[in-house]
Amino acid sequence: MTMASFTRPFIRVAAAVMLSLSAAGCANTPDGQDGAGISDPIEPVNRIIFGFNDAADTILLRPAAEVYVAVAPDPVREAVHSFIRNLVSPLVIANNLLQGDLEGAQVATGRMLTNTILGVGGLFDVASVAGMKDEEEDFGQTLGVWGLGSGPYVVLPLFGPSSVRDATGLAVDTVADPLRVWAYANDSKNVLYVRTGVSAIDRRSQVLKQVDDLKRNSLDYYAAVRSLYAQQRRAQINDNKTDAAPEFPVFGN
Amino acid sequence: MVPGAVFAQSTDPGASAFIQKLGDQTIATFADKSLSREQAVERFRALLHTGFDVPYIGRWVLGRYWNQASPAEQAEYQKLFERLIVDTYANRFVDYSGQTFKIAGTRPEAGDDTTVTTQIIRPDGPPINADWRVRKAGSGYKIIDVAVEGVSMGLTQRQEFASVIQGGGGQVAALIQALRQKVGRS
């Protein structure tokens, strides 16, 4: 705690200086607060890609996730989820460290060791039962913690909602992914394809209801997803410590 | 850290009691299997109006476009918005019945508002954090926003509605048309 609060501002300042030199062009669009807030200069293109992703989801991913939920019993799906999460835990640890969040890095390290050893190679999430919470950390969030604004919203083919900052983060995480490094070194890229597929179905299966709900209840599905994404990323970057809630004025009539 | 030092204002205990009661009533409504879906939705509509300041939320969601709308548009918008909210939340609560919740804490907000933080306990996954922004209304309370895992429902709708209006040439009429199509049936 004391260590973390000491190092964090220092790392932030150093990182902010570095980034302001290298990435001055694309930074610092404020994440949207009011109605028109989210920067989306290539909206027409984004909408086309979004439509394509949505079609791929409707035809392929959603049905696959539904079958998965119907066929695989809860414990099996939990094991798959834990296993996949455990595989990326080195990235979670690294990003916590890069964010200067030593507490987070400690928890993530504890999780990896506990689940790998006691949880039989990551199949059982023993750590969560022991109160070590699984936080998602990625390099996009790290850039955010370093003070980089999200930049314009972009919809990536198949990967879905992102931003200039988060797409950069995704590229860095992909290259740094230990499993990928291992697979390339051992000429077993098939492992990666399997992981990608399983991971996509796992993720999709966890939000079946939520996505259906959003589609059914929104007037502009694209805009609703864009808003959700921007807010969710902001909350993740702050590790759910709410900061900038929108203002709720008193309306006089 | 000195305990309590973080809170400049004291939190309002009435706000969390209000959320607790409203939550219990809502769960009871949807757990009551003797009610048909229509009856449950009707009862939920009543609860919604007890619990939420729907006109406030509607106006807030419209944001800067509120002043741009004519009085007639404002009135129709509010009527349609109310129907949208009832549909949306009723569907949500029916889908998510079987869940329970617990109050995690309260946090004072600007003005006299209080945010009541809750955890929704699900049988099939980790708990979800839901924050209810509560405003004092006369002798009681009203909810003016809900944030689920840091995502504000009001802000999401505001940004969505703004997009519809912008897509319709900046006219509030475009939003009203879209709302009519969405909730106009029956």
Calculate the CA dihedral of residues B27, B30, B33, B37 and round it to 10 degrees: 170
Measured CA to CA, the distance from residue A114 to residue A82 in angstroms comes to 12
CB contact under 8 A, B91 and A217: yes
Tokens of B135: 């405003």
The pLDDT of B143-166, averaged and rounded, is: 94
> Which residues does chain A have within 8 Å of residue B64's beta carbon, measured at their own beta carbons?
34-35
d(CA A91, CA A138): 7
C-alpha distances in angstroms, B52 versus A74, B43, B103, B173?
36, 14, 18, 26
Q: Is the pLDDT score of A7 beyond 50?
A: no
Averaged pLDDT of chain B: 86
Task: Give the pLDDT of residue B164.
Answer: 96
How far is it, in rounded angstroms, from Cα A165 to Cα B99?
36
Contact of B180 with chain A, judged by CB distance below 8 Å, is answered with no
Helix (H) or strand (E) run with residue B154 in it: helix B153-167
Supply the pLDDT for residue B170. 93
CA distance B151 to B62: 18
Closest Cβ–Cβ partner in B96, B133, B160 for A219: B160
Chain A residue set in contact with B, beta carbons under 8 Å:
32-38, 74, 128, 206, 209, 213, 216-220, 222-224, 226-228, 231-232, 234-236, 238, 240, 242, 245-248, 250-251
pLDDT of residue B97: 65
Given a cut of 50, is residue A105 above it in pLDDT?
Answer: yes
Determine the longest span between alpha carbons in chain B, in angstroms: 57
What residues of chain B, 17 to 46, have a C-beta less than 8 Å from chain A?
none
- Residue B171 binned pLDDT confidence (cut-offs 50, 70, 90): very high
CB B54 within 8 A of CB B77: no
How far A16 CA sits from the closest chain B CA (Å)? 25
Q: Which of A5-19, A94-108, B32-46 has the highest mean pLDDT?
A: A94-108
More confident residue, B80 or A21: B80
Minimum mean pLDDT among A21-30, A186-195, B45-54: which range? A21-30
H-type alpha helices, B37-152: 37-51, 54-62, 71-95
Distance, in angstroms, between B32 CA and closest chain A CA?
22
Q: What's the mean pLDDT in A198-208?
A: 93
Res. B10 pLDDT band, cuts 50 70 90? low
Rounded to a whole number, what is the distance in Å from the CA of A219 to chain B's nearest CA?
Answer: 7
Label residue A21 by pLDDT band (50, 70, 90): very low
| End-to-end Cα spacing for chain B | 57
Look up residue B115 and give its two tokens. 């945010």
Q: What is the pLDDT of residue B59?
A: 96
A217: which chain B residues are within 8 Å (Cβ-Cβ)? 84, 87-88, 91-92
Question: What's the gap in Å between the CA of A38 and the closest CA on chain B?
Answer: 8
> How far is residue A85's CA from residue A121's CA, in Å, rounded to a whole number?
11
Residue B74 backbone dihedrals phi, psi, to 5 degrees: -60, -45
Predicted confidence at residue A240, as pLDDT, reads 62
Give the C-alpha separation, A108 to A7, whole Å.
18
pLDDT for res A4: 44
Q: Which residues contact B164 (CB under 8 A, 6 or more apart)?
A: A219, A220, A223, B174, B175, B178
| Residue A57: pLDDT over 70 | yes
Q: Which of A234, A57, A64 is nearest to A145 (CA)?
A: A234
More confident residue, B185 or B131: B131
Using alpha carbons only, what angle is made at residue A167 by residues A161 and A171, rounded to the nearest 5 degrees?
135
> In this predicted model, what pLDDT tens digit does every residue of A154-194 receive, in sequence order?
999 999 999 999 999 999 999 999 999 999 999 988 999 99
Judge whether A188 and A175 are in contact, CB under 8 Å: no
Q: Does B142 touch chain A (CB under 8 A)?
A: no
pLDDT value, residue B91: 72
Give me the mean pLDDT over the B111-131 stretch. Answer: 86
The predicted structure's pLDDT at residue B36: 82
Q: What is the largest CA-CA distance in chain A?
A: 70
Q: Which of B84, B109, B160 sits opposite A223 (nearest CB)?
A: B160
A228/B151 touch (CB, cutoff 8 Å), yes or no: yes
Q: Do A242 and B131 touch (CB under 8 A)?
A: yes
pLDDT given for residue A26 in this prediction? 38
- Residue, of B112 and A99, whose pLDDT is higher: A99
Most confident by average pLDDT, A28-42, A157-171, B41-55: A157-171
A221: pLDDT strictly greater than 80: yes
Which H or E element spans position A2? helix A2-22
- Which helix (H) or strand (E) is B100 found in, with range? strand B100-108
Chain A residue with Cα closest to B88? A217
pLDDT of residue A154: 97
Write the residue in A35, A213, A217 that is nearest to B159 by C-beta: A35
- CB-based contact, B133 to chain A, within 8 Å: yes
| pLDDT digits 0-9 by tens, A113-145 | 999 999 999 999 999 989 898 889 999 999 999
How many angstroms separate the CA of residue B163 from the nearest CA in chain A?
A: 6
Averaged pLDDT score across all residues of chain A: 85
Residue A6 banded pLDDT, cuts 50, 70, 90: very low
What CA–CA distance (Å, rounded) separates A222 from B16? Answer: 35
Percent residues over pLDDT 90 in chain B: 53
Q: Under an 8 A CB cutoff, do A217 and B84 touch?
A: yes
Asked if residues A84 and A199 have their Cβ atoms less than 8 Å apart, the reply is yes
Higher pLDDT, A12 or B19: B19
Give the mean pLDDT of B64-69.
Answer: 95
pLDDT value at position B38? 82
Q: Are B113 and A248 in contact (CB < 8 Å)?
A: yes
Partners of residue A213 in chain B, C-beta under 8 Å:
91-92, 95
Angle subtended at Cα A143 by Cα A30 and Cα A133, rounded to the nearest 5 degrees: 105
Does position A18 have pLDDT exceeding 70, yes or no?
no
With beta carbons under 8 A apart, name residues in chain B contacting A226: 159, 163
Chain A / chain B CB contacts < 8 angstroms: 104
**For chain A, what percent of residues have pLDDT higher than 70?**
83
> Could you give the CA distance from residue A220 to residue A140 in angstroms, rounded to a whole number?
26
Interface of B with A in 84-113 (CB under 8 A): 84, 87-88, 91-92, 95-96, 109-111, 113
Least confident of A84-88, A247-251, B178-182: A247-251
pLDDT higher than 80, residue A244: no
The rounded distance, in Å, linking the Cα atoms of A111 and A86 is 8
